């Protein structure tokens, strides 16, 4: 039980000034974004906007200056993220580089790798994708079968396939989890390694997968005898599992885990201002209490991360509750709007609702399914 700590956080003194700066920037750069593009905005790809953020020093904000970063605090970065997400800014292009690939390089990368890639990531020019899932390895990530074998000259030859890779067709880099040692059924986490791969390397083929709303966001990535230099190994050979799980903590703890449907909440508030409805007031009240609580919890996790702790359990709780909130919101809105709002309408509310009804089921899949997260929580409770 004591692992369930959600201690309060005091945001840095410059947070209000930073918020003001961000709000002015967003108002200037994104004068009108339709509501459905503000929904789930960390999956919205806009390379031009990412470069503008990079130029402002808002990518890789906490990284050392010598690698192109800006040495701001983790909580300042949290303020930036929640402001951008609440405003619905299209931050999808650089999100992975900023959230996990960059930090992963800082933690496990060689000096050469850091110098080669981090400054470009911080400028918003080098974009990254995640090479974890495979056709046979979803929640059971240790089941990856993509193999890298060491050649006599020290180089590596990679064969296999990744899948559900968001933005692979528009990214330069992938950090891939692959098997470098034989599978030992008694120790399945051994023999895994991470590789930093340039996606233009010969032998890599990227094939889009169109999602259920018709967007080509996902990809399959095939590796056919891809030969890479020894320096493409990230971190230590055989330590891939340890490295990838530390990456997952970063992936699960941010404000994007409860704000994906926020744009629809605002449309609901706008509707309630036009239509006097007791049911709408009650729903908005409940959703407000949930949002406020989730933000307090998410902030607390950010504070723990900033203090150098690894709040795996707390992060799993925030993601689970946050995803549930993001998913219940569209269903609740659908149940509340009047007969005059049709899903095929051309209004902000209808378009956002239609998009989120269809995409929100994925929110409790990406970054760890609800079942996996609850398994982590159950372990924290001493049940496993």
Partner 1 sequence: MSEQRELLADSAARAFQSYDRQRNAWHEIEELGIADILVSDTNGGSGADWDDACAVLQVSGRWQIAQPIAEAMIARKLAADAGVQLPRSPLSIAPDAAGTLSRDGRALKFSGILQSVPWGRDVSHVVTSLAFEHRTHTVVLSVKDAKLHKRTNLAGEPRDDLRFDAAEALAAASTSRESQHLFYYAALARTAQIAGALQSALERSIAYALERKQFGRAIGRFQAVQQQLALFGAETAAATCASRSAAIAATTGDAPFQIAAAKLRANQAIGVATATAHQVHGAIGFTWEYALRHATQRLWSWRSEYGNDRYWSEHLGRTVVARGADRFWADLTGTGAG
Q: Does residue number 348 form part of the binding site for partner 1 (CB under 8 A)?
A: no
Cβ atoms of residues 223 and 161 within 8 Å: yes
Stretch that binds partner 1, among 38-46, 124-132, 193-201, 273-281 (CB under 8 A): 273-281
1 vs 339 by CB, closer to partner 1: 1
Q: Does residue number 16 form part of the binding site for partner 1 (CB under 8 A)?
A: yes
**Distance from the Cα of residue 104 to its chain's centroid:** 14
278 has catalytic annotation: no
Q: What CA–CA distance (Å, rounded) separates 62 from 75?
A: 9
Q: Which of residues 303-322 bind partner 1 (CB under 8 A)?
A: 314, 317, 320-321
Q: What CA–CA distance (Å, rounded) separates 257 from 364?
A: 9
Q: How far is the CB of 180 from partner 1 (least distance, A)?
A: 32
Cβ atoms of residues 294 and 321 within 8 Å: yes
Identified binder of partner 1 from the candidate list 107, 292, 307, 342, rule CB under 8 A: 292
DSSP secondary structure letter of residue 100: I
Q: What CA–CA distance (Å, rounded) separates 238 from 384?
A: 26
Place of tokens 């449309």: 267
Q: How far is the CB of 206 from partner 1 (least distance, A)?
A: 36
Q: Which of 76, 83, 134, 251 is catalytic?
A: 251
Can you read off the two tokens belonging to residue 106? 């800082």
Q: Does residue number 297 form part of the binding site for partner 1 (CB under 8 A)?
A: yes
**Which residues are within 8 A (CB) of 212 and not within 5 positions of it... i.e. 6 or more apart?**
358
Give the x/- contact pattern for partner 1 in 47-66, rule: CB under 8 A: --------------------
Q: Does residue number 191 form part of the binding site for partner 1 (CB under 8 A)?
A: no
Place of tokens 């339709």: 34
Q: What CA–CA distance (Å, rounded) separates 202 from 100?
A: 25
173 vs 302 by CB, closer to partner 1: 302
Can you read off the two tokens belonging to residue 371? 């079942």
Cβ atoms of residues 158 and 222 within 8 Å: no
Q: How far is the CB of 257 from partner 1 (least distance, A)?
A: 13
Helix (H, G, I), strand (E, B) or coil at 204: strand
Q: Does residue number 76 form part of the binding site for partner 1 (CB under 8 A)?
A: no
Number of residues that bind partner 1 (CB under 8 A): 50
Q: Does residue number 130 form part of the binding site for partner 1 (CB under 8 A)?
A: no
> In angstroms, what CA-CA distances link 21 with 31, 83, 85, 124, 253?
15, 10, 15, 19, 24
Strand partners, 218: 209
Identified binder of partner 1 from the candidate list 273, 338, 344, 346, rule CB under 8 A: 273
Helix (H, G, I), strand (E, B) or coil at 6: coil
C-alpha distance across the termini of the chain, in Å: 14
Q: Does residue number 14 form part of the binding site for partner 1 (CB under 8 A)?
A: no
Identified binder of partner 1 from the candidate list 1, 152, 212, 339, rule CB under 8 A: 1
144 vs 259 by CB, closer to partner 1: 259
100 vs 300 by CB, closer to partner 1: 300
Q: Does residue number 31 form part of the binding site for partner 1 (CB under 8 A)?
A: no
**Applying CB under 8 A, which residues contact partner 1?**
1, 4, 6, 8, 16, 19, 82, 86-87, 265-267, 269-270, 272-273, 278, 280-286, 288-297, 300, 314, 317, 320-321, 371, 373-375, 377-378, 380-384
**Residues noted as catalytic:** 251
């Amino acid at each position: 039980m004591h692992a369930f700590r959600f201690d309060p956080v005091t945001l840095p003194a410059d947070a209000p000034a930073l918020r003001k700066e961000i709000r002015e920037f967003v108002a200037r750069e994104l004068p009108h974004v339709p509501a459905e593009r503000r929904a789930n905005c960390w999956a919205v790809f806009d390379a031009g906007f990412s470069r503008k953020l990079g130029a402002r020093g808002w990518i890789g904000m906490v990284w050392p200056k010598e690698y192109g970063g800006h040495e701001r605090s983790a909580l300042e970065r949290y303020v930036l993220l929640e402001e951008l997400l609440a405003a619905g800014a299209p931050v999808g292009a650089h999100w992975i580089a900023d959230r996990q690939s960059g930090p992963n390089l800082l933690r496990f990368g060689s000096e050469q790798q850091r110098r080669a890639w981090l400054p470009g990531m911080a400028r918003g020019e080098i974009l990254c994708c995640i090479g974890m899932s495979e056709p046979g390895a979803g929640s059971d990530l240790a089941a990856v079968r993509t193999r890298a074998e060491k050649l006599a000259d020290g180089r590596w030859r990679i064969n296999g396939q990744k899948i559900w890779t968001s933005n692979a067709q528009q990214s330069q880099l992938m950090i891939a989890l692959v098997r470098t040692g034989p599978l030992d059924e008694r120790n399945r986490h051994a023999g895994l390694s991470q590789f930093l791969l340039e996606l233009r390397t010969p032998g890599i083929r990227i094939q889009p997968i169109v999602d259920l709303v018709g967007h080509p966001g996902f990809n399959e990535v095939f590796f056919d005898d891809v030969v890479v230099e020894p320096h493409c190994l990230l971190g230590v050979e055989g330590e891939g599992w340890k490295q990838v799980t530390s990456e997952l903590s970063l992936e699960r703890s941010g404000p994007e885990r409860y704000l994906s449907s926020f744009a629809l909440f605002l449309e609901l508030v706008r509707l309630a201002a036009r239509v006097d409805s007791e049911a709408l007031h009650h729903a908005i009240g409940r959703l407000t209490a949930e949002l406020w609580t989730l933000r307090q919890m998410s902030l607390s996790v950010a504070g723990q991360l900033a203090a150098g702790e690894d709040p795996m359990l707390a992060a799993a709780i925030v993601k689970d509750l946050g995803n549930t909130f993001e998913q219940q919101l569209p269903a609740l809105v659908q149940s509340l709007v009047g007969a005059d709002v049709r899903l095929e309408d051309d209004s902000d509310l209808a378009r956002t609702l239609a998009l989120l009804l269809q995409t929100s089921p994925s929110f409790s899949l990406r970054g760890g399914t609800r079942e996996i997260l609850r398994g982590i929580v159950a372990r924290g409770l001493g049940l496993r």
